[in-house]
Structure 1
Amino acid sequence: MKAPFAGLDTLATNDWWNRANNPIINLKVSRDSVIAFGIYTVSNNTLKLGAQFFPLYPDEPRDVRLEIKRNDTWEILQTTKINELGWSAVFKITDWDTTKDYRYRLRHGKSASYEGTVRKDPIDKKEIVLAALSCNSNKDRGMREKYVNNINHQDPDLMFFAGDQSYDHTEHTAAWLKFGLQFRETFRHRPCITIPDDHDIGQGNLWGENGKISLTKGGSDGGYTYHPEYVKMVERCQTAHLPDPFDATPIQQGIGVYYTNLSLGNVDFAILEDRKFKSGPEGKIPQQGPRPDHIINPEYNPGSIDLPGLKLLGDRQLQFLDQWRQKNTGSLKAVLSQTGFCGGAHVHGKATNRLHADLDSNGWPQTGRRKALELIKKANAVHIAGDQHLATVIQHGIDDYRDGPWAFIVPAIVNDYYSRWWWPEDEKAGTDPNTNTTLPWTGDYLDGFDNKISLMSYANPDNTSQGAGYGLIRFNTQQKTVTFECWPRDVEVDQPTAKQFEGWPYTVSLN
């Protein structure tokens, strides 16, 4: 199959076997190892399982078999085709038995196989645990053994990768395979949510604007830079195993959507697409800095950029949130997305680069932020995301301080290339600071958009892990509390001396 795009995914398309060795990953694996990993979710008695392959040679079969083990015997459940763009396949099994664990096996040809476990629904557990990670920079191409060992020791019920699994912008398949080899032992035996962010689809920033074509370097005019089939390939590899979308109607250029919900135990997760419908700033608002998306003028009027017609989540996702909040009202609820609903960092990239406001964050447009937070609050949900390279715990304000939902932005997996700092310019604590931590700058603040936020914890990159790590979220379904844990990259959690970042754990009540 000839790729429909040029200069993209070159390592895994067309006559890929003629390519020279690359710095990302060896694609010419032994033929009994062509199945790189499986990844799955189960929700509403439906199993969705993705199979990710290394590139196949022209004479190799293009189908993959899914088997499960019953009474010590492997049974074929389904056979499906492998898509040569991205080399992935997806299985969908309805009426799945969620009351017990099942061993599964993916088979290809005569010798290739991959095994894992589909876990039973932990409906009887009092505490559901989610591990959350994002920003897997290619500045460190090593394996992630410590992350894997720590997470498996803590044994969460569900994995969540919030975006930027790939930073090799034009070579997603190779980078996605690398990510899979780094982290597959965290999701071989448990369900996993992965959602792509801007770097995954090849852009430094993304304002999707309903799928239009971006014509500006950096994408600040809104839309997608690269060929729609490349974007669709990325989303297919990373999201086809999620529950079916709430509304599968494609956006412009035929690009799909994946926003949906997943119920696990007594917790209901809404999965959003922060960027897909968001308006781009260029040409729409007065520019306040050297880039259309960076505001460096602290004297500007925040109302001047909150203009009618600007979108954040978009009408379709707001409708989804409104319906989701009214269902499963007895469950604890969480919203999962790429980034935070405020400007939660003052310094970007290096210590001398202070931004007053960053339009890449979901703090803008402010009216769109308000609409989203009102629905998340009505759902009595917490928000969990990544992207910011700066771990924070924030309670949002909508009309007043502390009247909105709680949010936990988890740290970057690798954080030594573009760090961020929470560092108020006056170096003063806000009103009503968090007295349970030695962190100096907590309490009530206005962000660069005049959004009210109450900052309770933050992990600046002034530590041995450089602020890198992951989040662990514990949902106590009986006490109706959620505990945010934040673990540095360099700790070993099974050691008695292991400590979280200063300011964590942090527990909030949803009663």
Structure 2
Amino acid sequence: MSTHLLLRAATVAALFSPYSTGLAAALQEVKPLVAAEVFGERFQRLESMAMGEWWNVKPNPRRTMSLDVPRDEVVAFALYTHDRGTLKLTAQLFPLYPDEEREVRLEFRSGAGEWELAATEKVIDLGWSAHFRLDGWDSTRDVEYRVRHGNEASFEGTVRRDPIDQDVLVVGHLSCNSSRTPGPRPTMLENLKRVDPDLLFFAGDQSYHHTEHTYGWLEFGVQFREILKDRPVITIPDDHDIGQSNLWGESGKQATDEQGPSGGYFFPAAYVNMVERCQTWHLPDAYDPAPIERGIGVYFTNLKVGGVDFAILEDRKFKSGPEGKIPKMGPRPDHINDPKYDRASVDLPELALLGDRQIRFLHEWGQDWSGAHMKCVLSQTAFCGAVHLHGSPENRLLADLDSNAWPQAGRNAALREIRRARAPHLCGDQHLAVVVKHGIDAFGDGPYAFTSPAIVNTIYGRWWWPQDEQPGPNPVEGSPLPWTGDYLDGLGNRISMMAYANPSDRTDEKQRADGFGVVRFDKKAQSVTVECWPRFADMSQGDAAQFPGWPITFACADNDGREPTGYLPVPEFVRQRSSAVVQVIEEERGEILYTVRMRGEGAHLPVYGKGPYTIRAGADRPDEIEVEGVQAKPVGDD
């Protein structure tokens, strides 16, 4: 293979564009991409395995996969979603040699069985990806696709039709793919194939190769491509994906180090944008696409699959860093170990969690039910501190500010928006599988949340282990787990622990609590069932066991756990329709209590105060009728 230096490369300025395929159009045959020129001299170690003369890079014993693959295998994998008539597909390639063409082709199999060219796109050398967008997509049928490079390389899969007619939508829920256990994930892959999810959600830390994202992303894709290729996939990067131990993004400011507590992103915008382009370009267009500081892009958006509407958040991007903003009360700026600390001292009004833009997105998303029968929120990490022991069984930590438990006001604001849509929350990051029911003003008044187990739990173990080793009030009846019930986390947030999967022996891969989640959305029953499976469970056997305490089923209505004080009369408009969207507003404060799609028969409208209330309703949004000054019938009043 020739190694001459004819290679398409973009100008350094163009590399700061996070998603645009117009970047590829600017490429010129100049020279190989050089890290020092793209990222600056300070960061010239970035992407050393996939940039420059990558074929001459010496083997690294920690990285066992070769990027120099046979040339008929250079198309590594593909990711796609389709929604609202638009198909977006990312083709991920292994690095290309200087004399190889920089185009890939997307083809679909016709009804006659012939492959037909649909589009051609340029390869972006920084990250080795290509991106296809097709508008006017017909989501009612399965379509076979293949991505081709040159005359030999090809990757094939199926764009699935939207399963809108299914009563139950099945989601595979995964996170935290430890690089310390490289190589295939055969048992997990076979189990996922048996589950056959309609949608896959990877909540973050697909790669732990901090300075070598392209290598780590390719490793992840090769491990899971046989399940990725045939269904829509949501992948969102977390801190390790963009090269940091923790991330408090502070709207894109420059961080002082890779540990992150000062706030901001440590590595250059070009690197962050490359990561986000490879992992998120295939998602629907961002709700509010304006970039943040230093030209770093955003991707928060929503995706509808099978009548379930998923809000996709970036819970790290706008969050304040703790260092210098709150008192230090532990060995690190983000750890609190002082049991007598003043909780109000860390919950300051100027601190951000999701930020105004994402709160506005959630607020508007919750009121638009077009094409949706249920809603769900996805993000990187949990809105609570459902962990006591960190890293080792000897290391007890009162509060970890890396989670969305902090700042508390931001946490509660986010949960109120999630509750308004009666949506559950799915996330990863914590390396410990838990199901909690959040409390905002009282225990149990908020939504349910499921944190998935780590795919491979070798990086940083965690345990739920109350210091007094006692159940909380209102423990789960019949649970095999000893410590369920109502608790305050280390920041004073109310949580009701429903189930947890502690590792029993982290030296044994079958006892580390590795695994994955499955979430079943039953549109007909308006319920959600959460499953949690050990990595090595033999799901080919009918008696395969989930982690103790699972499965858990709850009604969508229970994502709002407030105790009703009364009920409003249901307008005739709603009773005459099978699934109207109804919104209830408390008039005194102008607060939306909830916006939900309801069934006309048996519909009821709970309220939580004296009123009066405004009722709005419509087919997909509450925009067709409005009734003001409605009084509730108190609970117990016949």
Q: Is TM (by shorter chain) over 0.5?
A: yes
For residue 381 of structure 1, give the secondary structure of its aligned residue in structure 2: coil
Q: Identify the residue that residue 343 of structure 1 maps to in structure 2.
A: 385
1:15 corresponds in structure 2 to 53
Per the alignment, residue 303 of structure 2 pairs with: 262
Q: Aligned with 2:455: secondary structure?
A: coil
Does the alignment pair 1:431 with 2:504? no
Counterpart for residue 147 of structure 2: 106
**Aligned residues: CA RMSD:** 1.0
1: distance between equivalents of 2:304 and 2:310? 6
Residues 436-483 of structure 1 deviation map (CA, whole Å, 9 limit, x = unaligned) = 311000000000000000001000001633111000000000110000
User: Which of residues 428, 434, 442 in structure 2 aligns to 1:392?
Assistant: 434
- Aligned mate of 1:421, from 463, 479, 492: 463
Residue 454 of structure 2 aligns to a residue whose secondary structure is coil
386, 397, 403: which one aligns with 1:355: 397
Q: CA deviation at 1:21?
A: 2.1
Cα offsets for 1:239-288 (capped at 9, x unmatched):
01111100110001101000000001110000000100000000000010
CA distance in 1, matches of 2:134, 2:100: 26
Measured after TM superposition, the shift of residue 497 of structure 1 is 2.6
Match of 2:237 among 190, 193, 196: 196
Instruction: Give per-residue Cα distances to partners, 1:359-379, cap 9 Å, x unaligned.
Output: 000000000001100000001
In 2, Cα distance between the equivalents of 1:109 and 1:438?
57
Matches within 5 A, 1:76-87: 76-87=117-128
1:142 shift after superposition: 2.2
Aligned match for 1:466, one of 506, 512, 518: 512
Correspondence 1:455 to 2:497: yes
CA distance in 1, matches of 2:438, 2:82: 31
Distance across 2 between alignment mates of 1:198 and 1:14: 26
The CA distance in 1 between the partners of 2:542 and 2:520, in whole Å, is 20
Matched, 1:298 2:336: no
Assess if the C-alpha contact under 8 Å between 1:245 and 1:260 holds in 2. Answer: yes
Distance 1:149 1:122 in 2: 22
Match of residue 125, structure 1, among 157, 160, 166: 166
Q: Secondary structure at the match of 2:182?
A: coil
Q: What residue number does 2:22 align with?
A: none
5+ unaligned residues in a row in structure 2: which ranges? 1-8, 10-32, 558-638
Question: 1:134 matched to which residue of 2?
Answer: 175
1:150 deviates by 0.1
Which segment drifts farther, 461-470 or 439-448?
461-470
**1:217-296 equivalences in 2 (<5 Å):** 217-296=258-337
For the 8 Å contact 2:207–2:220, the answer to whether it is kept is yes
One-letter identity of the residue aligned with 1:29: V
Matched residue SS, 1:104: strand
1:331 is matched with which residue: 368, 373, 383? 373
Per-residue deviation, residues 114-167 of structure 1 (Å, max 9, x unmatched): 100000000000000000100001110021111110000111100010000000
Match of 1:499 in 2: 545
Query: For residues 508 and 332 of structure 1, what CA distance do their matches in structure 2 show?
Result: 13
1:17 counterpart letter in structure 2: W
Q: Does 1:368 align with 2:389?
A: no
Q: Secondary structure at the match of 1:135?
A: strand
Whether the 8 Å CA contact 2:245–2:258 is kept in 1: the answer is no
Alignment gaps of 5+ in structure 1? none
* 1:21-44 residue CA offsets vs partner (Å, 9 max, x unmatched): 234220111111100001111111
Alignment of 1:36-115 (within 5 A): 36-70=76-110, 71-115=112-156
Greater relative CO (CA pairs within 8 A, separation 6+): 1
Deviation at 1:217, TM superposition (A): 4.8
Instruction: Give the AA of the match of 1:414.
Output: V
Q: Deviating runs (4+, > 4 A) in structure 1?
A: none
Distance 1:27 1:510 in 2: 46
Note closer, same or farther for the CA distance 1:239–1:292 as it changes in structure 2 (3 Å cut).
same
SS, match of residue 177 in structure 2: coil
- The letter of the residue matching 2:52 is N
Q: Which of 527, 531, 537 is 1:485 aligned to? A: 531
- Post-superposition Cα deviations, 1:277-335, rounded to whole Å, max 9, x if no partner, equal 00000000001001000101111111110001100001000010001000117521110
SS in structure 1 at match of 2:176 = coil
- 1:476 aligns with 522
What CA distance in whole angstroms lies between the structure 2 residues aligned with 1:500 and 1:55? 40
Conserved 8 A contact 1:432-1:444: yes
Asked if structure 2 preserves the Cα contact closer than 8 Å seen for 1:465 and 1:490, the reply is no
- Name 1:160's counterpart in structure 2: 201
CA distance in 2, matches of 1:343, 1:506: 20
TM-score when normalising by structure 2: 0.79
CA distance, structure 1, for counterparts of residue 392 and residue 333 of structure 2 = 20
Mapped partners of 2:164, 2:353: distance in 1: 34
Across the two proteins, how many residue pairs are aligned to each other? 511
SS at match of 1:78: strand
Task: Please give the per-residue CA displacement for 1:170-207, whole angstroms capped at 9, x wherever unaligned.
Answer: 00001100000001111111111000000000001000
Residue deviations 1:98-122 (CA, integer Å, cap 9, x gap): 1110000101111111100000000
Query: Residue type matched to 2:46 in 1?
Result: L
Task: Give, in whole Å, the separation in 2 of the partners of 1:203 and 1:277.
Answer: 15
Alpha-carbon separation, structure 2, partners of 1:219 and 1:348:
18
User: What is the distance in 2 between the residues matched to 1:431 and 1:37?
Assistant: 49
> What is the CA distance between 1:416 and its match in structure 2?
2.9
* TM-score, normalised relative to structure 1: 0.99
The answer to whether residue 190 in structure 2 is matched with residue 149 in structure 1 is: yes
C-alpha contact 2:457 2:513 (8 A) present in aligned 1: yes
Instruction: State the Cα distance separating 1:45 from its structure 2 match.
Output: 1.6
Once the two structures are superposed, residues 375-404 of structure 1 have per-residue CA deviations (whole angstroms, 9 ceiling, x without a partner) of: 000011000000001000000001001000
Instruction: Give the residue type in structure 1 aligned to 2:233.
Output: C
CA distance in 2, matches of 1:186, 1:229: 30
Amino acid in the other structure paired with 2:523: T
SS at match of 2:424: strand
Q: Find the aligned partners of 1:429 and 1:236 in 2 and give their Cα distance.
A: 45
1:350 deviates by 0.2
Residues 113-122 or 183-192, more deviating: 183-192
Question: What is the CA distance between 1:58 and its match in structure 2?
Answer: 1.0
Q: In structure 1, the residue corresponding to 2:547 is in which secondary structure?
A: coil
CA contact (8 A) 2:246 2:258 kept: no
Partners of 1:445 and 1:402 in 2: how far apart? 11
Distance in 2, matches of 1:480 and 1:497, equals 27
| Residues 436, 503 of structure 1: 8 Å contact kept | no
Tell me the SS of whatever aligns to 2:119: strand
2: CA distance, partners of 1:440 / 1:465: 18
